[in-house]
Amino acid sequence: MKKKNFFSVLIILGLLFLVSCSSVVLKPVNYSWALESELSVTNGKIHDIRNGIKMDISSLLKNEFGKMGGDIDKIRMIRNMSGYYFITASTFKNVYVFETGNGKMSLVRKISIDKSGFTNPKFNQRNDYIVFLYNTDKSLKLTEKGILK
Amino acid sequence: MISNRLKIVLGIFFIFLFSFAKPISDYDIVQQFKKSVSAITVEIRNSTDSTLTNELKLKIDELKQNSIENKALLNNAIYPETFGSVFAKLNKEISQAKTKNILSSNLETVTKEKDSMQVVLIDYSGKITELTNENSSLIGKIRVIKKSMKNDKNAIFKYKRLIEKLKNNVETRNILVASIVDSLFKNMEKSKGGDVKRLSLVRQIDENSIMETIVNSIDGNIAFMKNSSLSQDDLDFVLDEYSKFTKTWKRISIPLTKTYYEGAKSEMILKAINSKLKKWDVTIYSSLWNKLYSRFKEKGIKVKKFKSAKSFNKNLISYIDLKISGKDTKLYKVFRDSVWQQNDVQGWIGFLMDHRKLSKKQVAEIETKISEWNSFDSGEFMNQLIVGGAVLLFLILIVMFFKAKKKKNMIDDSSINYNQSIVSDEDDNSKER
């Protein structure tokens, strides 16, 4: 009797586990933005109305410029096909790659571009990668894993 | 034939060239596109003439051509707009601008027209008022002179001059009124119910004065008719003016009355002016009948008053019949020579016949009566002639008789004397013997 009950419970639990595991999966999903967003920074905050994102980038600025942060007017942001956010700005030295979390964005990679800081940064969406244009005449192919060679 | 070496060199050159080509940002492409679209839109909205609009059409086509390779990017970037919808909007802006330009041009034209109409109206209205006042004064003077004009050559001369002046003024005023009407109602007859915008424009610039002017003008023409000498020139002038006036009136009467009045009032005004025109027409001929009657009266021909062809015919014939039946030939010559055959009387009769107010038959009947009167009058004359002749003959015969008798006596006397002389001679001879 006890064995029977035990097995019944086990089967029931197993079924429950299966049910909870068999969540609906949608794929493939293309998260890419056709165009980068150029966003004004106000008190360390940005608001991308078009894409529906509002966030505080103060910690990003501190990471880039140190404790004092930087005096940045605009940042540029794009999302690649896989859903990673690429963020940078003029006078930055790096391009930051973020992934979304629960009410937050977590840094995945910090791609070093130019140690002296670059100017005129632009992102172009190319599905398989992001083309990063900087210093007027330079370009790099970026993914969430870094620079594509 | 280009050599292989040259091809390689050219290939390397172009690769080198393109390697230095500035990388283009998608964001910049989109921004540039948006700027171009915005700039063109502003230019379209500010354009004021169709040539500029056409140039902008070319710019739109050029932008489309230049942007077509980025269509996919633009479709994504400018969502919810699309590449196609942006250009559709621009083309719509162009056609709206064209319409706006046409309307502006029309408005400018209408404004210019309005201004010129106003100038004409003010200028001509002023002149018309001056002429109307002058005409009133002339008519006053004419009436005074007419009373004292009978045998006064000076007065007759003055009268003719005043009539001429009045005629010129009436003609000038009629021309000014017609010019105002033409200016205000140009091409009115081309619009079926009247040009609504034009009518409202007319209403804006003219506050009923044209209606008053038309009425005064008709009255002025009637007054001239009543006071003129009705020479052939005057009659031709009056009829010509009447004909011109009625033609113009026919063209503009309905849109004109509808401009100023609505519904029943419009009908009433139309009727009133038509009635005035009828009065003008009637006055032309009634004045002539009056003139004719006055002429008979002046010469002592007491024919009953006539106002129409029928009464003219009837009254003259009955007058002559009366004279014939009463064997009264005294006034025949006066009737014929001093009235009937006078140039002006014949002119009036001819005018009435030409305008079908008197028929040839009616005139022929009167002339037949006159001839009858003439033959009756001639018969009496013949009788008188015969009697006179007979009397004269009788007198001649008496004279001849007495002459003959006297001669006979003279012969008798001379023969006695001769016999007596013979006898005395014989006596003498016998004595001598």
Nearest to A137 among B22, B28, B79 (CB): B22
Count interface pairs A-B at CB distance under 8 A: 34
Any chain B CB within 8 A of the CB of A71?
A: no
> 3-state secondary structure string, A2-61?
HHHHHHHHHHHHHHHHHHHHCCCCCCCCCCCCCECEEEECECCEEEECCCCEEEECHHHH
Give me the pLDDT at residue B33, please: 96
* A85: amino acid identity, one letter: Y
Nearest to A122 among B25, B73, B77 (CB): B25
Give me the pLDDT at residue B406, please: 82
What confidence category does residue B365 fall into, taking pLDDT thresholds of 50, 70 and 90?
very high
Chain A residue numbers with beta carbons less than 8 Å from the beta carbon of B30 are 35
Any chain B CB within 8 A of the CB of A31?
A: no
State pLDDT tens for residues A10-54. 887 777 666 656 689 999 999 999 999 999 999 999 999 989 999
* pLDDT of B231 above 60: yes
Q: Pairing between strand A45-48 and A85-88?
A: unpaired
Distance in Å, alpha carbon of B19 to nearest chain A alpha carbon: 10
State pLDDT tens for residues A72-120. 999 999 999 999 999 999 999 999 999 999 999 999 999 999 999 999 9
Give me the pLDDT at residue B194, please: 47
Greatest Cα pair distance in chain A: 79
Q: For chain B, what's the residue count? A: 433
Nearest to A124 among B26, B76, B79 (CB): B26
Cβ proximity of B173 and B220 under 8 Å: yes
In this structure, of B62-66, B180-184, B272-276, the range with the lowest mean pLDDT score is: B180-184
In this structure, of A69-78, B14-23, B71-80, the range with the lowest mean pLDDT score is: B14-23
Nearest to A35 among B20, B23, B26 (CB): B26
User: Average pLDDT, stretch B213-223?
Assistant: 87
Could you tell me which chain B residue has the CA closest to the CA of A140?
B23
Q: What is the mean pLDDT of chain A?
A: 90
Give the global pTM: 0.51
* pLDDT of B254 above 80: no
User: Average pLDDT, stretch B329-351?
Assistant: 87
* pLDDT of B82 above 80: yes
Give me the pLDDT at residue B190, please: 45
B191 vs B96: CA distance, rounded Å: 26
Distance in Å, alpha carbon of A86 to nearest chain B alpha carbon: 15
State pLDDT tens for residues B370-426. 888 887 655 555 565 666 677 888 888 998 988 888 877 776 666 555 555 555 555
User: Average pLDDT, stretch A118-144?
Assistant: 94
Half-sphere exposure of residue B9: CA atoms within 13 angstroms, side-chain side: 5
* pLDDT of B188 above 90: no
Q: What percent of chain A has pLDDT over 90?
A: 77
DSSP 8-state class, residue B337: I
Are residues B76 and A34, on separate chains, in Cβ contact within 8 Å? yes
* Most confident stretch, B94-103, B201-210, B333-342: B333-342
User: Average pLDDT, stretch B257-265?
Assistant: 72
Q: What is the mean pLDDT of chain B?
A: 81
Give me the pLDDT at residue B203, please: 65
User: Average pLDDT, stretch B155-167?
Assistant: 88
Could you tell me which chain B residue has the CA closest to the CA of A37?
B27
Distance in Å, alpha carbon of A14 to nearest chain B alpha carbon: 47
